[in-house]
Structure formats: structure tokens, C-alpha cells
Structure 1
Amino acid sequence: MSVDLDHIRQVMEEADCLYNEQQIEDAIATMGHSITEKLADSNPLVFCVMNGGLVITGKLLTHMQFPLEASYVHATRYRDQLTGGRLEWKVRPSQSIKGRTVLIIDDILDEGHTLDAIIDFCKEEGAASVLTAVLVDKKHDRKARPGLKADFTGLEIEDRYIFGYGLDYQGYWRNANGIYALKGH
């Protein structure tokens, strides 16, 4: 697959910055404080949902000053596309979940199909409780199930195609130091 890097650069040049780095870092610190208050005594197993959850998980872990076990899962629907497809498990949890408090960290709660499937998997594997943390919750009425919300949310965002801080545009710009929206989307 040939990538048009000029197009990728142009997307960033034309994008609208919805949240800058400081606003995001403040939201992450607030999330970390809330998670610490709720989970400090629970010995949680914390899963980063790859690849989108990489940035938020790394930054959030530094605000969670208590013993925890960190790992990752990799399930995807997007496969570098703009719209979702069927759920594909690339890496399932390798640790025993039975009887554990599980915290799943992801970049975004859009429709929530991927997050919902991971939650169901953890419950089926016997987790004592399953909590979720997302950097961004997209505001719309297309959630996977009515009332689907993360337990910990950093920012809410309008219903646009966004990228940066772990969120990607066609596999690129996860490294952008803000959250941006595509021009016209």
C-alpha cells in the first residue's frame, strides 16, 4: 500500500485543533486522581487497548500511584479505515482475569463496539469487576448499547473524525500533541 505523505501532511495542516496538549494533560491528571481514589486498594489488572490506547495509557499510568499490573489487549474494528468493520482480536489477555478488578484503557469511546466486546470478554473470564477509562467520549446517539459510558472520561468531543494523542488518521498522526478534527468532518 502506497501512502501519500503529502496528503497526510495536508490533513494536519488543515485540521482544527479541538484540544491542545495542556488541556489533554490536565484531563489525564484528573482521570488519574479519580482512578486512584476508586482503585488504589483493589490490585487492578490494567489493560491498554492497542494501538490507540498506547499514549493515554502511558501517560495515565504515571498518575496512578498505587500497585497495579499493566498489560495490553489488541482488538480492532477500524484497520486504518475511517469507518468500522467486524471485531478482530489480535492479542487477548494473557493473565488470569478471574476474580480481578480490571481497568480497560482506550483512546476513544465512539460507538463502543470494541470496548463493549472487551468488557464482555473480561466478564466471561470471571473478572470481579470491569471498569473503563477513555481519553475521549464522542457525543452522538450511535453507541453500541443505550447508556454506554466509560467509568472515567477525560474529554468529550463533538461528532467529528478526530486524531492525535493516540487516535490515528489512516495509521498516522497518533503522535500529534493535541486532538485534531479533519477539516469538514
Structure 2
Amino acid sequence: MSAVPELATALANADIVHDHTAIERAIARMAARIRNDYAGSVPVYLTVMHGGLPFAGQLALALGARGLDLQFDYLHATRYRGATSGGTLVWKHRPETPLRGRRVLLVDDILDEGHTLATVRAWCLQQGAREVRIAALTVKRHDRCVPGLVADYAGLEVPDRYVFGYGMDYHEQGRNLPAIYALRD
């Protein structure tokens, strides 16, 4: 069994691409747009675990401060399982809230290539969701995304490098860092 790379080593070889203040500002901007788009409704707010948790919590509080109520649930679907490249999607938990006829907001830490989010969005629609939108804290800059998949609400762009912090992990470490880092090439 190989040793897990040290988070301290990663931090020493990474650049901060967005500090905590920039993240907070992006969340506030997203919350204003989402609140306006969902005014008069109570969307099903689906957090994508584990990475989406820090962002989803902060965004939910920002939405509550703006008067938008949410019905919380979560899902856990992963293609990575601790690895740095994705494989087959594995569902660890599906939402228990009935989605038929509901407006759904999927909340995740990053839109990279989008395979997981595309599958989850399709599943929500199969469950009868009236609408499924995506809120992603970060969107990676590249041209490899699933065709037609976009974040309806995107907070920040990140470079096409290995990024971690604020929900995104470095070998299952560093999700709770209050900034977003990118490993140097």
C-alpha cells in the first residue's frame, strides 16, 4: 500500500488561486442571483457530498439571509473514491425527498469535466424533477466538459490544474482549508 502524499508538501508546492474573502464574495453574488431566480418557491437543495458540503453550507446561509427557504437533502455519488482520476459512478446515497414536480438545485464544489453532475442531473429528471439547476463554487477552465453541461450559477474559475481546499480534496485531505489552492505544474 502506497503512502498518502502529505498535505503540507502539497501546500508548499501550490498557489492560492482564491482566498477566503474572494470565496465569500463569490458566494454572496451567487446567492443574490439564486434568490431572485427562486423567489416564491422552495427548491430542493441537494448537496453533493463530500466536496460540496462547505460551499453548500455557506451558500444556504447566504440564501437564508436573503429570505429564501430551502428543503434540504443530499446525495453522495462519486467517480473518484480517493483517486485523482474518475472511474465508474458509484451511488453511496440517493436523496430521499420526492423530486416529482419540484425545482431542484444541485450544489457542488467544482464543475470539472462534469460526468458526475451530468449523471446526477439526468437521475433527478428521471425522478420527475420539473427543473434541475447546478450551483458550482468553481468551474475549471478547459474544453473537456460534458457537452451541454454548464453551471447555472458559477462562483469562481480555477485553472486547469489540480485544485484543492474549500471542499475539494488533496488525497482526501484539505477539504476544510478556507482558500482554494492549485498545485504548480
SS in structure 2 of the partner of residue 167 of structure 1:
coil
- Once the two structures are superposed, the pairs formed by residues 81-160 of structure 1 within 5 Å of their partners are 81-145=83-147, 147-160=148-161
Q: Give the CA deviation at 1:141.
A: 1.1
Structure 1 position 178, deviation (Å) = 0.6
Q: Is the 8 A contact 2:161 2:182 kept in 1?
A: yes
Q: Post-superposition shift, 1:2?
A: 6.7
Q: Is the 8 A contact 1:40 1:67 kept in 2?
A: no
CA–CA distance in 2 between the matches of 1:4 and 1:166? Answer: 18
- What SS does the corresponding residue of 1:22 show, helix, strand or coil? helix
What is the distance in 2 between the residues matched to 1:38 and 1:179?
A: 27
SS at match of 1:181: strand
* Deviation by residue 1:25-50 (Cα, 9 ceiling, x = unmatched): 10011111111000121210000000
What is the aligned partner in structure 1 of residue 21 from structure 2?
22
Tell me the CA shift for residue 4 of structure 1.
4.3
**Given the two structures, how large is their TM-score scaled by the length of structure 2?**
0.94
What amino acid sits opposite 2:151 in the alignment? A
Find out whether 1:38 has 2:37 as its counterpart: yes
Amino-acid identity (%): 45
The superposition leaves residues 66-106 of structure 1 with CA deviations (integer Å, 9 ceiling, x where unpaired) of: 22101100000111111111111000111100010000000
For residues 124-160 of structure 1, give each alpha carbon's deviation from its aligned partner in whole angstroms, at most 9, with x where no partner exists.
0000111110000111111122x32110000011111
Q: Is 1:161 matched up with 2:159?
A: no
- Whether the aligned pair in 2 keeps the contact of 1:11 and 1:183 (CA below 8 Å) is no
The secondary structure found in structure 1 opposite 2:37 is helix
Is the Cα contact below 8 Å between 2:4 and 2:171 reproduced in 1? no
Determine the structure 1 residue equivalent to 2:183: 182
Paired amino acid for 1:101: R
Displacement over 2 Å in runs of 4+: 1-5
Q: Distance in 1 between matches of 2:72 and 2:30?
A: 17
Structure 2: give runs of 5+ residues left out of the alignment: none
Give, as a single letter, the amino acid of the residue that structure 1 aligns with 2:75: V
State TM-score, norm by structure 1: 0.94
Three-state SS of the structure 1 residue aligned to 2:120 is helix
Please tell me the root mean square deviation across aligned C-alpha atoms, in Å: 1.2
Distance, in Å, in 1 between the alignment partners of 2:87 and 2:56 is 24
| Alpha-carbon distance, 1:3 to partner | 4.6
**Secondary structure of the structure 1 residue equivalent to 2:62:** coil
Match of 1:172 in 2: 173
Query: How far 1:120 sits from its partner (Å)?
Result: 0.2
